[in-house]
Structure 1
């Protein structure tokens, strides 16, 4: 399946701003974090299809995932 991944803030450094990526069926948000080589402690907020999500959420083909680092009081 294919999902669209967007990174915000410092998570973009040395990576990308937005890209499509291929995943196995029944992949979870945590699998995207690992595939993008994001340090888990640097991911403060995750959204799937514009709704806040947990790292264990199962993804579906075409989902839009966004990751944000801690900012300000986060």
Structure 2
């Protein structure tokens, strides 16, 4: 299945900003994070089609999946 993955902030470094990926049916949001070698502890927000999701959410054909890091500051 085809899914568009978008990365934000420092997750883009050495990776990409936006990329269309061919993924096996049943792939979860967390599997994509793992495949990109992103530490789950650094993930702040996951969104599929502009709606919050969890690592366990299963991606569907045509989804737009966005991965945002935890934002720190004071």
TM over 0.5, shorter chain: yes
Unaligned runs of 5+ in 2: none
1:68 paired residue number: 68
Encode CA deviations 1:13-68: one digit per residue, 9 max, x unaligned.
11110101111111110111112221111111000000010110011011000011
**SS of residue matched to 1:44:** strand
CA contact (8 A) 1:11 1:42 kept: no
Query: How far is the alpha carbon of 1:72 from its aligned partner?
Result: 3.5
Unaligned runs of 5+ in 1: none
**Bigger strand share:** 2
C-alpha separation between the residues in 1 aligned to 2:9 and 2:45? 12
What TM-score, normalized to structure 1? 0.91
Q: CA RMSD in A?
A: 1.1
**Matched ranges for 1:20-59 at <5 A:** 20-59=20-59
* Count of residues in correspondence between the two structures: 73
What TM-score, normalized to structure 2? 0.91
Q: Moved runs in structure 1, 4+ residues, more than 3 A?
A: none
